[in-house]
Amino acid sequence: MKTMDFLPETLKSPMRRTRDFLRYIPNRGTSRYCPVCGQSSKRFGEFGLVPREDAQCLYCGSLERHRLTWLYFERMTNLFDRRPKHMLHVGPEPYLGKQLRKHLGSGYVSADINPGRAMVQMDIAEIQYPNETFDVIYCSHVLEHVPDDRRAISEFYRILKSDGWVVPLVPITADKTFEDASVIDPSDRLKLFGQQDHVRKYGADYVERLREVGFNVKVTSAFDFLQRDEAIRMGITRAAGEIYYCTKR
C-alpha cells in the first residue's frame, strides 16, 4: 500500500497535483498518450519485476493491458453508450476504477477479497449477488490467484445477465495451463508460476475453461482494431495480451 493511501483526502489532491507537475517538467511532449487519463508525455515509465521500458503511464499508472482494455471498452463495446448498466469490477485498478465510476455512476460496483480495497468485499468463488445481476463484469489478472478458478468463472456466468458480457483477463505465460495445488510455499510458487501469490500459469487453453461453463468467447488482439501508429503512441505492445470477450450462449 502506498504512503498516500493513509493520508486524508484534503491532502491527497494537492499532493497529486504537485507530483504530476514534477513529472511533467522532464517529460513534456506528445510522443506518448494515455487514453485512460488523457495525458500526453515524452515517454512512459518502466515497470515490472524484469523492467519493461515504456510501460507505465507517469500520471495515472496504467499499464499496457489497461490502456488496451480501455480502448476496447470505448471502441468495441456498449459500455459507454450512456444507457444505465450495472457493472462489477473485480480487483479494481484505481486509475481505471475512477474513470469507470465517473461514466457509470451508481451502476458501478468494485469488489476485492481483501477488506478496504474496494466498495465490496468478495470471494469470487462464492459471490453474494443473485443470478443475472450484472450487465458487465471486468476482471483483470485475478483468476491466476484463485485456487478454484473454474468455480469463479461459473459464478461470473451465474450473476451475468442473459444479454451481458464479461472480460476476464489473465496473463498467458505458458503453452498449456499448468497448476499444482500441492505447491503452497511462496518461493516455490515464484519458481513455478512466476509470482509468489500465483497458483497457476495459463496457456492458450484458457479459452476452453471459459467455454466449459457455457460462454461464447471472442479473442481480440490490439491490431484487430487499432492502427499501428496509435498503438505505438499509446504504448500498447505484446505485453498488453489479448482481450477475452465472453457472452452467454
**CATH number of the structural domain spanning residue 107:** 3.40.50.150
Distance CA 42, CA 30 (A): 6
Q: Which residue has the higher pLDDT, 9 or 71?
A: 71
Nearest to 235 by CA among 71, 56, 6: 56
Identify whether residues 91 and 210 lie together within a single domain. yes
Among 11, 27, 62, where does a domain finish? 62
pLDDT score of 83: 96
- Total number of domains in the chain: 2
The parent domain of residue 220 ranges over 63-248
Q: Given 3-state DSSP classes, what are the helix, strand and coil percentages for the chain, each rounded to the nearest 5?
A: 35, 25, 40
120 with 5, same domain? no
Position 82 pLDDT exceeds 60: yes
User: Does 111 lie in the same domain as 195?
Assistant: yes
Would you say 238 and 70 are in contact if contact means Cβ atoms under 8 Å apart? no
Residues 137 and 161 in one domain: yes
Last residue of a domain, one of 42, 62, 82: 62
C-alpha–C-alpha distance, residues 32 and 167, integer Å: 26
Max Cα–Cα distance, the chain, nearest Å: 51
> What pLDDT shows up at residue 183?
95
Please give the pLDDT value at position 139: 98
Asked if residue 88 lies in contact with residue 137, where contact means CB atoms within 8 angstroms, the answer is yes
Q: Are residue 67 and residue 34 in the same domain, yes or no?
A: no
Report the pLDDT value the prediction gives residue 5, as an integer from 0 to 100. 54
Pair (55, 82) in one structural domain: no
Summarised one tens digit per residue, pLDDT across range 200-236 is 999 999 999 999 999 999 999 999 999 999 999 999 9
pTM attached to this predicted model: 0.88
- pLDDT at 249 (0 to 100): 86
Residue 1: pLDDT band with limits 50, 70, 90: very low
Tell the residue number behind the cell numbers 462489477, with chain if given.
88
The secondary structure element, H or E, covering residue 220 is strand 215-220
pLDDT category of residue 117 using cuts at 50, 70 and 90: very high
Residue 47 and residue 108 share a domain: no
Q: Answer yes or no: do 76 and 52 share one domain.
A: no
Q: Are 194 and 118 members of one domain?
A: yes
Domain boundary among 36, 62, 88: 62
Do 104 and 212 share a structural domain? yes
Pair 192, 212 in one domain = yes
For residue 48, the model assigns a pLDDT of 87
Helix 94-104 / helix 64-76 crossing angle, nearest 10 deg: 20
CA atoms within 13 A on the CB side of 201: 13
pLDDT score recorded for residue 155? 98
**Cell triple for residue 49?**
519485476
User: Are the beta carbons of 139 and 124 closer than 8 angstroms?
Assistant: yes
Question: Is residue 162 domain-shared with residue 240, that is, in the same domain?
Answer: yes
> Confidence band (pLDDT; 50, 70, 90) for 4?
low
